Chains A and B, each alone.
Chain A
Amino acid sequence: MKKFLLICLNVFLYAGVVPLVEPNQAPSKGGLISPELIEAIPHWHKYGELFLYLQTHWVKLIFLIVLIAVPSVFLIHYLIIGPKIFSHKGRNFLIFPSWQRIIHWIAAAGWILLVPTGFIVIYGAFFGGGPFVRFARYLHVIGAVLFAIVVLPMTIMWLKDMLPRLWDIKWMMILGGYLVKRKQEIPAHKFNAGQKMWYWFAMFGGIIMIITGVMMYFQNFDLSKWHLGLFQIDLLRLAVIIHLTLALILVALFFTHLYMSLFAIKGSLDSMISGCKSEEELKYLHSIFYKEIIKKGEDKELSEKCPPLKED
């Protein structure tokens, strides 16, 4: 009996210790940090909350959609409309001199490192984290350095040819003729409107990517002295939000660029390897440029620099 009473007493004693409110779900108003503290930190939740929302709800989903949808669209295009095949016999014209090709391939090497490693970091949990993903993050930096070296020379070397022209509207109206099977003369100079779009996004978007990337790499940029209401941490948050948003556009365009050069126009990759484009390809896909070199009589000079392919 005595023992029983003792147990009862113990039960009552410990019952008093049990908190009446479940501590894991303590009321959220107030908080263990006093409200004064939070109010004293200006803009404390400005971009942090936005970044938290984007990262938890959208980032992985949207990048997965781009990763699947863009190649799928091109696969359907390839199966239904098919690639454009041009004769590579006959005359070839030098379009990209060697120094332009070198610059292009340095940037390309950078992007080939940047895009997959970026995806590996976003889906780091899928790859299990640790040394592999960490290594991908380091490669991302190396790719960025490669691209950063050539981004300005590349911007300058093609700037004149990339300025928007009136016929770009026509190109946009027919979507470059990629939706029809037949060959037709496409209004484009040295670069068509699609290439121009890629150029402007990749060069200026790329510069913004480098700037925001450098901010995230060093983590010590401080604009708070400029009275922009942008504190050091908010600048970092803004940088990562911009970096991810632009990455989405650039990745989609990068896939487009790969599809166009590798699959959609057969043999167009050669023009970036040897620098030469075939007469037929030029005539149809860059009709305005072709007419111009014929009119100016530059065609002989340009074709002399490119040996004609052996006829077989």
Chain B
Amino acid sequence: MYEYARMKFYCDEDRCIDCHGCEVACSDANELPVGIHRRKVITLNEGIEGKEFSVSIACMHCTDAPCFQVCPVECFYIREDGIVLHDKDKCIGCGYCLYACPFGAPQFPRDGAFGIRGVMDKCTMCAGGPAPTFSIKERELYGQNRIAEGKVPMCAAICSTNALIVGDAAHVAAIKRARDAAKGKGAMTPYGWDQAYK
């Protein structure tokens, strides 16, 4: 039994109102180039009554992160708190992580000469990257390091309906369980995104 926190996002599909606030906040806070969306809001089963719902999707920081497994240059690392990050100095922009990811989280800016694909960019859970914490390099390459500042990631911080919650998997699951219980939805299965493919 360990006390490690396992950081996870959860977007409550009962609460998400498709406002795209998290998307805008993320792109703005991390000063992402045009065309890069670390977080996306999608609507599923659109038009089907009773089944339609919206969720906000970004990197799910999988425990067995497929991107981490397939990377030919091994530029990924998983922090002790479960946040999956990558080293942009090592990344070669081959795209393997995108092919392996079930959520379409990795994205590639076309910033090189002749529109050549640059290195990969993905959600960092606002935890920066391998560059020195709070350095200009970290800020430019990976965006804000709000986790080191003791703040909640930008997307979850601005979510007006508190649909997007982030934190230790056990706590996030407890919140979701309490919400479901309050609605009389009955006992929920324990949450925890463990394996990407199953």
Contacts and interface: CB of A to CB of B under 8 A. Distances in A.
Contact size range, B: 35 or more
Interface in A131-151: 133-134, 136-138, 141
Interface string A28-68: 11111110110011001100110110011000000000000
Contacts of B53: 36-37
Contact of A129 (B3, B69, B82, B92): B92
A218 B108 CA distance: 10
A217 interface: yes
Nearest to B13: A34
Nearest to B172: A32
Contact of B93 (A31, A41, A134): A134
B116 A32 contact: no
Contacts of B4: 23-24
A302 B111 CA distance: 54
B192 A51 contact: no
Interface string B158-198: 00000000001110110000000000000011111111111
A49 B1 contact: no
Nearest to A240: B99
A181 to B, nearest CB: 43
Nearest to A241: B99
B5 interface: yes
Contact size range, A: 35 or more
Residue among A29, A36, A129 having the largest count of chain B Cβ atoms under 10 Å: A129
Contacts of B197: 45, 48-49, 52
A18 B95 CA distance: 39
A52 B169 contact: no
Contacts of B169: 23, 26, 32
Contacts of B44: 36-37, 40-41
18 contacts: A18-B1, A18-B3, A21-B190, A23-B168, A24-B63, A29-B189, A32-B193, A44-B102, A49-B197, A125-B72, A129-B73, A129-B74, A129-B92, A136-B92, A216-B95, A219-B108, A219-B117, A236-B99
Interface of A: 18-19, 21-34, 36-37, 40-41, 44-45, 48-49, 51-52, 55-56, 121-125, 127-130, 133-134, 136-138, 141, 216-217, 219, 233, 236-237, 240
Given A36-B51, A233-B98, 10 more contacts: A30-B189, A32-B172, A36-B13, A37-B13, A37-B53, A44-B102, A48-B101, A125-B74, A133-B73, A216-B95
